[in-house]
Structure 1
Amino acid sequence: MLEQLTCDRHQIELSLAPIPLSAAAEFCHDDRYGAFASFVGWVRRVNVGRLVTGITYQSFQPLCRTVLAEICQEAEQVFGQELRIYVQHRLGETRVGDPTVLIGVGAVHRDEACEACRYVIEELKHRAPIWKLEHYEDGDSGWVPGNCLCQERRSRDRWLQARRE
């Protein structure tokens, strides 16, 4: 593990080690909760028509931890204080099929768990300083451009607007 930030309600990890998929459920479990939602992202075999062999992830870790903590706090503000949120992102070299990001949210009800989980992954993709160097079967490599949602589709804006209505 490279960087970890843990409080009673959030656990954020940036790690070179493989991601244990059970970690999110273990952290988020609470007898008060009736719901757990999770998201797992894997390295896919084909991206934009090119055969991928792996991805090397890099990050400015101190800023990344801060940004991820802010995202977790925002999720609580939007979806309720009674959440437990787990975020782990893999850094370094990965291969096709490796889990690279794991998000988990425990909540009293499924709506909050599912909505907060989606919020965290969308905001992570938009804001976290994590960069992807994709490696291809032909031996070439290339930096993947950021994959943020269009401004009108950004998750935070959608949820904040929905809460106002």
Structure 2
Amino acid sequence: MTVEQITLLGLRDTPLSIDEVVSAVQDDHAGGTAFFVGTVRDHDHGRQVTDLSYSAHPTAEAQMRRVMEKVVADTSRDGRPVWRVAALHRVGDLRVGDIAVVVAAAAAHREEAFAACRRLIDDIKAEVPIWKHQTFTDGDAEWVGAC
């Protein structure tokens, strides 16, 4: 794997651009591009959400890179490589409807692009130390993803 396969990664406290992420994975070798956009919804587990904030550990970007490298290695098979991957995640205060995360993958074929994109979002959520704090209309609050 070359460093150029990870074309964009980061944590930002400003609005995310779907176009920026998708453009970052464009490659003439790619026959398929897949992307995922995660947005802030107005509820969680049947409760109305009023406020939401994301926090990240100082190592989060380095861990995101490690996750991305592993996804590229694991989803490139039988001479059908994943050519490019990109991921951005918001931190700070967000409102309902805001984009919280965008990931994209471009591969030789759609099967690898879909597989890489799915793994990217699943592994970032599972392995990168980014925590969500949400407040509900009844005044209760909870941390999601924090140990």
* Structure-2-length-normalised TM-score: 0.88
Tell me how far apart the structure 2 counterparts of residues 107 and 57 of structure 1 sit (CA, whole Å). 30
Match of residue 42 from structure 1? 39
What does 1:1-80 correspond to in 2, within 5 Å?
A: 7-10=3-6, 11-61=8-58, 63-80=59-76
Measured after TM superposition, the shift of residue 145 of structure 1 is 4.5
Could you list the structure 1 runs, at least 4 aligned residues long, displaced by more than 6 angstroms after superposition. none
How much has 1:144 moved relative to structure 2?
2.2
Write the deviation string for residues 83-136 of structure 1: whole angstroms up to 9, x where unpaired: 211110000000111110100001111001000111111111111100110022
Q: Which has the higher contact order (CA 8 A, sep 6+)?
A: 2
1:97-136 equivalence runs, <5 A:
97-136=97-136
Secondary structure of 2:53's counterpart equals strand
Q: Deviations over 1:59-104 (max 9, x none)?
A: 013x111111111111121122542111100000001111101000
Q: Distance in 2 between matches of 1:139 and 1:113?
A: 41
Indicate how the Cα distance of structure 1 residues 69 and 145 shifts in structure 2: closer, same or farther if over 3 A, else same.
Answer: closer
| Separation (CA, whole Å) in 2 of partners of 1:42 and 1:31 | 29
Unmatched 5+ residue regions in structure 2? none
For 2:104, give the aligned amino acid. G
Q: Which runs of 5+ in 1 are unaligned?
A: 1-6, 147-165
Aligned residues: 139
Contact map agreement 2:83 2:107 (CA 8 A) in 1? yes
Is 1:87 the counterpart of 2:87? The answer is yes
After superposition, give the CA deviation of every residue in 1:35-69 in whole Å (9 maximum; x if it has no partner): 110011111111012111231000013x1111111
> What TM-score does the superposition give when structure 1 sets the normalisation length?
0.79
Identity of aligned residues (%): 32
SS of corresponding position for 2:70 = helix
Instruction: Show the counterpart of 1:150.
Output: none
Aligned Cα RMSD in Å? 1.4
